[in-house]
Amino acid sequence: MLLCLLLLPADLSFAQDGWKLSNTKNDIRIYTRPVANSKIKAIKVECSLPVRPSQLVYVIMDIDHGSEWVYHGKDARILKRVSPSELYYYSEVVVPWPCENREYVAHIITTQNPKTKVITVDAPCILGMVPARPHIVRITHSIGKWTINPMENGVIKVSYELEVDPAGSVPAWLVNLFATQGPMETFEGLKVQLQKKEYRDVKLPFIVD
């Protein structure tokens, strides 16, 4: 969902250490991590939210309304719904001139550990499903991952990690713009989105709140 952050990876393992806090605001913490052979860093976002797990998962999978809170998101639509917990979707990312917009197809799979109740939402990019559009660069290699940990008193602890090759030529100033503004504005938008009345009472059959 958050490929609009446009960060370039060296390798795609989330097991590595080395995260460094780079920004914090309103209980949203942005971490960065160096990647080999690149000046561009990967990111991790952490925060706590006073909502049920089902509410957050519902918002993540509500692709049609993703542009309401995702930084520079545009034209998001579901391509195939496999099950209530799995779908494929297409999205376009608005990129400032002179660069071309980006597009991608992602595969969302949501699972919950039956013992710990921790929820994982994996959203890697895939190839195919829709033809590339002219004058838009197709992102073909990325991994995004949400980890949602239910806590006490109706609060969830959220972690989002993203490493993605933005493809094509992207100037450093533009990457830095997306890396600094993108995560914070996206999660601030997420907080607002979660408070909308249509998400307050949602329940999902594959999630135990």
> Whole-angstrom Cα distance, residue 109 to residue 120?
8
Question: Given this model, what pLDDT does residue 38 score?
Answer: 56
Q: Indicate the burial class of 192 (C-beta count within 10 angstroms; 0-12, 13-18, 19 or more).
A: exposed
Q: How many CB atoms lie within 10 A of CB 105?
A: 19
DSSP per position, 16-40: ----EEEEEETTEEEEEE--TT-S-
Question: Given this model, what pLDDT does residue 176 score?
Answer: 61
Q: Residue-wise pLDDT tens for the chain (209 aa)? A: 554 444 433 344 444 478 888 889 989 999 888 766 655 677 899 999 999 999 999 999 999 999 899 877 788 899 999 999 999 999 988 877 777 888 899 999 999 999 999 999 999 989 989 898 888 888 877 778 999 999 988 899 999 988 777 766 666 666 666 666 778 889 999 999 999 999 999 999 999 99
Q: How many CB atoms lie within 10 A of CB 174?
A: 16
> Whole-angstrom Cα distance, residue 131 to residue 138?
9
In which element (H, E) is residue 4 found?
A: none
Q: How many CB atoms lie within 10 A of CB 55?
A: 23
| Domains parsed from the chain with CATH numbers | 3-7+19-152+182-200 (3.30.530.20)
Q: Indicate the burial class of 205 (C-beta count within 10 angstroms; 0-12, 13-18, 19 or more).
A: exposed
Model's pTM, two decimal places? 0.86
> Whole-angstrom Cα distance, residue 171 to residue 189?
26
| Pairing assessment for the beta strands 86-93 and 73-83 based on DSSP bridges | antiparallel
Query: What CA–CA distances, in Å, run from 119 to 6, 42, 142, 170?
Result: 25, 22, 20, 34
Spatial CA neighbour of 78 closest among 96, 60, 99: 60
Cα Dmax for the chain: 50
Six-digit token string for 43: 């990111």
